[in-house]
Chains A and B, each alone.
Chain A
């Protein structure tokens, strides 16, 4: 029985200090007495009850202590509301902001599309292929459970029966192979989706509409299934509605509302003309594949590489067989943005880094504030220790204060994240931005931020707690907070904290600033005229039901009619609105056609079709040569001659000229691309637009093909108005006078269009600006905390100095000098960190690289950010220093 006695004693000793102080001895005594009795009367069962009782009560007593700790901590925080508020706010802001930013990006990157089964197994080929290729891929049953083909961003002019004005609307949708929805694993909300069995070539045209189409354009009418729409002038029957939230594959490119099977006749979709389904080299479809279970994208890529190479052998435009690179690359298609895995990792890393910096700064704030507070409360601790509180008890007390702050901060953070989220959703709904998923707070991010905050809150309160517990009682009881005159340690905890704080904040401010300025500059458009005076409107006669011949006729008459109206000073037609951002992916390889040259010069350039007078309409003088004239345009209106040697006129921009020829004196030089030979007739300045200011652009004259089959953006009319004319209305009048059937879309002035395109930037600016501004607030709080702590620690030293005759100025200088040294060190470290991080970011992602390249040399940032921080830091040093010189030397010296 000796052993059970020892166990009981051990258990009794393990009880919390306060409990033992009050009842420890008695509990031992009572236990021993009971034990003697129990041994005689009840044997081992009684003994077991006794031990079990102690074992069960032990954790309960600790819990109860913790509760009273927290209650005490709450009281302590309520007593210093300023400290509590700042601590909770900074923690809450950090958690809320990081959670929100991460949630949004996380949602974009990884959240599966709504309603799509097996989203994780869905992949999409990066480059378009012909329909024939897709059919061959479909045969690879060992790697694919299904392969569908689709074209996205396909425009349809749709007339809804019973619509108020009977007007057509331009709607974007997809042309899909009939097995598309099976591959997606999507269910119909109503009716049926397409299927190879039901939708065959030659059947009456059918289409599936999205849930959004049904709600927004059909007013959720119950007879929607079976309704006949006029699509591009043809009757098409709605057979089903997709499940809610579905916007087609690759929604980031274009949110789709209408899904037309490729079996439809070409009249419904001109994209299907020219036997596009059977021409092997018509690379116009994206392959969407459902991987067989347990097959990775890389395995699938290898598996179909051979197939693709065999098919490519028959296509002269394909890369040569010697090219070792993989022919097909799969991107994840189950999420909203098909991001290649390596880019996804880089982006996640970027946001993870931003998030960590913010949280670390907030935590450092909390830590330094707790430290300062601990230093100021030494007297309180000394008193509590002298009346019997244990050191452990005091340490626990400080830690519970840290815990409470983090908990409250966490709660505030969750609230804030939720609120920001609601705002975000409303913002996106207000602008109806495409490709924005259902944003909701990501619990993983929230959990991460919360746990990080808890760990930091508790962890950072340990240091001051231990320090406080080490205090010597007598001097602490006598007067103030500082016991020993702390030696001036250059690398003390406090100095390190302040330097790190500054460096971290500067880094955050600089990186966000770089990205921000980069974005802003990238999207800065410099028109040579007032953008309000340019009216823009797009038309697409073919999709309005006109024949290609009629369309050609229309376009030949339209410019003259506009000129005749007398309301416009200049007019041009184009396939792409000016200053629109173009993807590098749309570029085509141009080769210098010079038989004497030793080696072939090749350069990818973006190809844009513009009409005669395009640059004149933009007030853009030619650098050399001429721009397209009516003669060029007329010659291109003829059916394409068989003569392949014919040289088409080409205008290139400055960047393209320098990259291809090394100079801008290039008039008359020859170039060629996959299908044509060109002669350079003019060189033009780079239009200042888009992220890539230095994009090489080749302008070709609008041709018969463009008019007969306009691209998704239609043919855009640019019309510069004379003063006092409502250009938009004038264009509308002329067009309807020419053909009342025509639907004008994207009708706006250039300034309106520019404002639209800046919206994305505004939201990015809000995000990054928010993070940067937040870093600033945090660092201000932190600096004030650190310096307040420093001054509190040096109170006695300052008192002695003043007693020995130092005047206020000298003391102020002393405090400020130290502050300035720290600020300088922090600034240097911050710059170095920012440089490192932006280099690393540039290396991993081209998206940020462009922005960073433009942002990193902005003097406002390079000088402004550190100056702002330094000013803040100086104020944060000055205020407590002012307080320090008011210290009564007598009081400070009393501890001696």
Chain B
């Protein structure tokens, strides 16, 4: 398969965006991602398990994330869990999506000023 460009992924699917965002800080396992997204959105966005793992599988195929070989300390580790991290393409896509969203916010603010101003 030919390598896909950053623009091909934009606009990013919401659940993909949340997953990338969750992995931006640190490597995470699936359940961790779910929890992080839930907390960050204050319970508004829940990634249901099948959707979550389906997305992870596709994102690995799209080379946005990859499995990490680093494991936490043995007393915290669960052998069944896999940990994921961003690839450089994933990071670029996340950056590009953030920029797009910022642009959107900017546009909204300009509009609002025009309406109220």
Contacts and interface: CB of A to CB of B under 8 A. Distances in A.
Contacts of B80: 25-26, 29
Interface string B41-74: 0000000111111101110000000000000000
Contacts of B34: 30, 34
A23 B48 contact: no
A50 B31 contact: no
B29 interface: yes
A61 B51 CA distance: 10
Point out which of B49, B53, B82 has the most chain A C-beta atoms below 10 A from its C-beta. Answer: B49
A303 interface: no
A53 interface: yes
Contact of A54 (B29, B30, B31, B50): B50
A298 interface: no
B111 interface: no
Contacts, number: 59
A31 interface: yes
Contacts of B54: 19, 57, 60-61
B81 interface: yes
Contacts of A631: none
Interface in A49-101: 49-50, 53-54, 56-58, 60-61, 64
Nearest to B52: A30
B50 A56 contact: yes
A22 B57 contact: yes
Contact of A49 (B30, B48, B57, B81): B48
A23 B51 contact: no
A34 B80 CA distance: 17
B113 to A, nearest CB: 39
B53 A27 contact: yes
A23 B53 contact: yes
A23 B51 CA distance: 12
Contacts of B30: 23, 26-27, 30
Contacts of A19: 53-54, 57
A768 to B, nearest CB: 48
A33 interface: yes
Point out which of B34, B51, B54 has the most chain A C-beta atoms below 10 A from its C-beta. Answer: B54
Contact of A34 (B49, B53, B81, B82): B49
Point out which of B34, B48, B52 has the most chain A C-beta atoms below 10 A from its C-beta. Answer: B48
Contacts of A29: 31, 78, 80-81
A26 B81 contact: yes
Nearest to B58: A64
Contacts of B58: 64
Interface residues of A, number: 24
Interface in A1-45: 11-12, 15, 19, 22-23, 25-27, 29-31, 33-34
Point out which of B29, B34, B52, B53 has the most chain A C-beta atoms below 10 A from its C-beta. Answer: B53
Point out which of A19, A27, A33 has the most chain B C-beta atoms below 10 A from its C-beta. Answer: A27
Interface string B78-111: 1011100000000000000000000000000000
Nearest to A37: B38
B96 to A, nearest CB: 25
Point out which of A25, A30, A31, A33 has the most chain B C-beta atoms below 10 A from its C-beta. Answer: A30
Contacts of A33: 31
A19 B78 CA distance: 19
Contacts of B78: 29
Contacts of A53: 48-51
B74 to A, nearest CB: 18
Interface in B4-44: 29-31, 34
Contacts of B31: 26, 29-30, 33
B42 to A, nearest CB: 14
Nearest to B1: A71
Contacts of B57: 19, 22-23
Contacts of B56: 23
A140 to B, nearest CB: 71
A30 B29 CA distance: 10
B48 A27 contact: no
B49 A27 contact: yes
Contacts of B51: 53, 57
A34 B31 CA distance: 9
B53 A26 contact: yes
B21 to A, nearest CB: 19
A266 to B, nearest CB: 82
Nearest to A26: B30
Contacts of A31: 49
Contact of B50 (A25, A57, A64): A57
A57 B15 CA distance: 14
Contacts of B82: 22-23, 26
Contacts of B52: 30
A776 to B, nearest CB: 42
A734 to B, nearest CB: 81
A853 B50 CA distance: 70
Contacts of A57: 50-51, 54
A64 B58 CA distance: 9
Contacts of A26: 29-31, 53, 80-82
A58 B48 CA distance: 13
Contacts of A34: 34, 48-49
Interface in A182-204: none
Nearest to B33: A30
A355 to B, nearest CB: 40
A297 B48 CA distance: 66
Nearest to A32: B49
A58 B56 CA distance: 15
Nearest to B35: A33
A58 B50 CA distance: 8
Contacts of B48: 34, 49-50, 53-54
5 contacts: A22-B82, A29-B78, A30-B30, A49-B48, A53-B49
Pick the 9 closest A-B CB pairs, nearest first: A53-B48, A57-B50, A23-B53, A25-B80, A54-B50, A30-B49, A30-B31, A31-B49, A53-B50
Given A19-B54, A27-B30, A27-B49, 20 more contacts: A12-B50, A19-B53, A22-B53, A22-B82, A23-B56, A23-B57, A23-B82, A26-B30, A26-B31, A26-B53, A29-B80, A29-B81, A30-B53, A31-B49, A34-B34, A53-B48, A53-B49, A54-B48, A57-B54, A60-B54
